[in-house]
Amino acid sequence: MNIVPFVTFLVKNIVSKSDMVSVRAFDEEEKTIVEVLVSEDDMGAVIGKDGKVANSIRTLAKSVAYANDLKKIEVHFESF
């Protein structure tokens, strides 16, 4: 299973400008880094109060990766 469509689905259902969401994955030796780019206006919704939404997305992504025997996952959020 590819983790990118899963993270894209999660983030697009949180933000108001879903057409501006971009998710890419970069493989490194021991882990995969998932980079999530969202509009600056939607960054607050993605991060959530005290980072709870972002941490929930990270937890879900790590759970799916573990269940599908994928590499260790790191999810990074950025705005443009």
- pLDDT tens digit string along 2-48? 899 999 999 999 999 999 999 999 999 999 999 999 999 999 999 99
Question: Which domain, by its residues, includes 73?
Answer: 3-79
User: Long-range contacts for 41-48 (Cβ within 8 Å, ≥24 apart)?
Assistant: 41/16, 41/17, 42/14, 42/15, 42/16, 42/17, 42/79, 43/77, 43/79, 45/14, 45/15, 45/16, 46/11, 46/14, 46/15, 46/77, 47/77
pTM of the model: 0.93
Please state the domain count of the chain.
1
Q: 70: domain CATH number?
A: 3.30.300.20
